[in-house]
Amino acid sequence: MAKNGFTTTILHSDRRASVEHGAIHKPMHPSSQYAFSDARELAAVFQGKPGFTYARQGTPTTTALEAKVTQMEGGVATVSFATGMAALAATFFALLKAGDHLISSQHIFGNTNSLLGTLADLGVAVTVVDATNVDNVVAALRPETRMVFTEALANPGTQVADLVGIGEWCKKKNLVYVVDNTLATPWLCQGISVGASLVVNSLSKHIGGHGNALGGAVTDTGLYDWTDYTNIALSYRNGKPSSWGLTQIKKKGLRDMGGTLAAEAAHRIAAGAETLALRMDRACSNALALAQFLSRHPKVAKIHYPGLTDHPQHERAKQLFGSRFGALMGIELIDEVDLFDFLNRLRVLILATHLGDNRTLVLPMAQTIYYEMGAERRALMGISDNFLRVSIGIEDTQDIIDDFVQALD
């Protein structure tokens, strides 16, 4: 059968994988345990044969969603988690040990930054660099370096890392390259196309899209050969070496750490995923229109949005993302505008954390997610005191612009 496009593939994924009573959605399986009529089969599944035993290690519902994420990312396999943070934590904790060194982009989500602090407390050395230029990543290399981490499109500053340059260098140095693709989504950029070994997506964001379920995923692109990666336990050095890393992430992250995605959440996210491309197209065009409008507004000091020609990585974003620039922007208002008064005047846009929702969400950054880390680290990440993160939704374009205008005036 000829390969179908992005949306067709997702829409028909369940039906093609295993029809149950002709259902077009994979039925939801909330069962905690899975029974066997043959003891040998039970033992075989415990020993690694694909199948289900206890829902902490996955259900038919999470497996169906994982197949969709794998198809979206063009990878070979995916493991789902309760949240994006659970997916990131499982990746770092399953693959790194005390004494290892991780190079991370300095432009990352605040909670991921905090997680890297925990990793450092446990003895993993972490160096943060400006990953918009691969030279900074290269300069941080140590003999103990194991992994490089970056967001494809950074939350909330919208920096676009030197994704291809880092991918080529990691391949040369045999380093594990982990890309958090949450903001770009596989609709704008597949991790495999920039040489990522593993791709992390928060499914709570654009892929789910409806603000009614949390989830996360790690997708193996199949590009990394784990043979010489000494942190892989002996028990997981079975089968193709390209699959060992994800096996260990699944065993440690789900079985041992227990950050499992619930069946009901998986079911909701899978329904959301069907319209990812449509929603992203609309949200990206809304975001570009808003950014262009506000960049001319006298009460706006600066807009951080890769779709604007003055964004430092505008050309790179155009090349990587096919002239769609994501649905997130940073907005800095002039000092004369009281940030909180402005936010209190909004009527349509919602004052809430979260992003990648169908609704437009606005959040002041320095006073919330980035509060705990202190002013110095915020400065490194480019978060000023009047930095607003705006996640643009799929509302009618003019309603978004009008609400901004009335609240600014």
Ligand X SMILES: *Cc1c(COP(=O)(O)O)cnc(C)c1O
In the bound state with ligand X, the residue whose beta carbon lies nearer, of 205 and 324, is 205
Q: Could you tell me the smallest distance in angstroms from the CB atom of residue 7 to ligand X?
A: 23
In the bound state with ligand X, the residue whose beta carbon lies nearer, of 101 and 107, is 107
Q: Could you tell me the smallest distance in angstroms from the CB atom of residue 15 to ligand X?
A: 28
Between CA 309 and CA 318 the distance in angstroms is 10
Q: Is residue 287 within 8 Å of residue 307, measured between CB atoms?
A: yes
**CB atoms < 10 A from the CB of 348, how many?**
16
339 burial (CB, 10 Å; 0-12 / 13-18 / 19+) is middle
Q: Could you tell me the smallest distance in angstroms from the CB atom of residue 82 to ligand X?
A: 8
Q: Could you tell me the smallest distance in angstroms from the CB atom of residue 87 to ligand X?
A: 8
Backbone CA torsion sign across 100, 151, 378, 314: positive
Q: Which residue's Cβ has the minimum distance to ligand X?
A: 84
Q: Could you tell me the smallest distance in angstroms from the CB atom of residue 88 to ligand X?
A: 6
In the bound state with ligand X, the residue whose beta carbon lies nearer, of 181 and 242, is 181
Q: How far is CA 129 from CA 149, 225, 246, 293, 331, in A?
A: 10, 26, 26, 32, 23
Q: Could you tell me the smallest distance in angstroms from the CB atom of residue 81 to ligand X?
A: 8
Q: How far is CA 173 from CA 97, 143, 228, in A?
A: 19, 11, 12
Residues 6+ apart with CB under 8 A from 94: 248, 249, 251, 252, 253
In the bound state with ligand X, the residue whose beta carbon lies nearer, of 116 and 232, is 116
Applying CB under 6 A, the residues found at the interface with ligand X are 83-85, 109, 112, 151, 155, 180, 182-183, 202, 204-205, 214, 216, 355
In the bound state with ligand X, the residue whose beta carbon lies nearer, of 265 and 303, is 265
The three-state DSSP-derived secondary structure of 165-187 is HHHHHHHHHCCEEEEECCCCHHH
Q: Could you tell me the smallest distance in angstroms from the CB atom of residue 309 to ligand X?
A: 25
In the bound state with ligand X, the residue whose beta carbon lies nearer, of 273 and 300, is 273
Q: How far is CA 262 from CA 33, 61, 269, in A?
A: 13, 9, 11
In the bound state with ligand X, the residue whose beta carbon lies nearer, of 72 and 407, is 72
Strand order in the sheet with 198-202: 77-81, 216-220, 198-202, 176-180, 145-151, 101-105, 125-129
Q: Could you tell me the smallest distance in angstroms from the CB atom of residue 200 to ligand X?
A: 7
In the bound state with ligand X, the residue whose beta carbon lies nearer, of 211 and 244, is 211
105 burial (CB, 10 Å; 0-12 / 13-18 / 19+) is buried
Backbone CA torsion sign across 100, 196, 203, 368: positive
Q: Could you tell me the smallest distance in angstroms from the CB atom of residue 217 to ligand X?
A: 10
In the bound state with ligand X, the residue whose beta carbon lies nearer, of 165 and 356, is 356
Q: Could you tell me the smallest distance in angstroms from the CB atom of residue 183 to ligand X?
A: 6
In the bound state with ligand X, the residue whose beta carbon lies nearer, of 63 and 202, is 202
Q: Could you tell me the smallest distance in angstroms from the CB atom of residue 93 to ligand X?
A: 15
350 burial (CB, 10 Å; 0-12 / 13-18 / 19+) is middle
Q: Is residue 215 within 8 Å of residue 265, measured between CB atoms?
A: yes
Q: Give the DSSP H/E element, type plus range, for residue 76.
A: none
In the bound state with ligand X, the residue whose beta carbon lies nearer, of 58 and 156, is 156
User: 223-260: b or e for each residue (b if 16 or more CB lie within 10 Å)?
Assistant: bbebeebeebeeebeeeeebbbbbbbbbbbbbeebebb
User: Distance between alpha carbon 339 and the CA centroid of its chain, in Å?
Assistant: 29
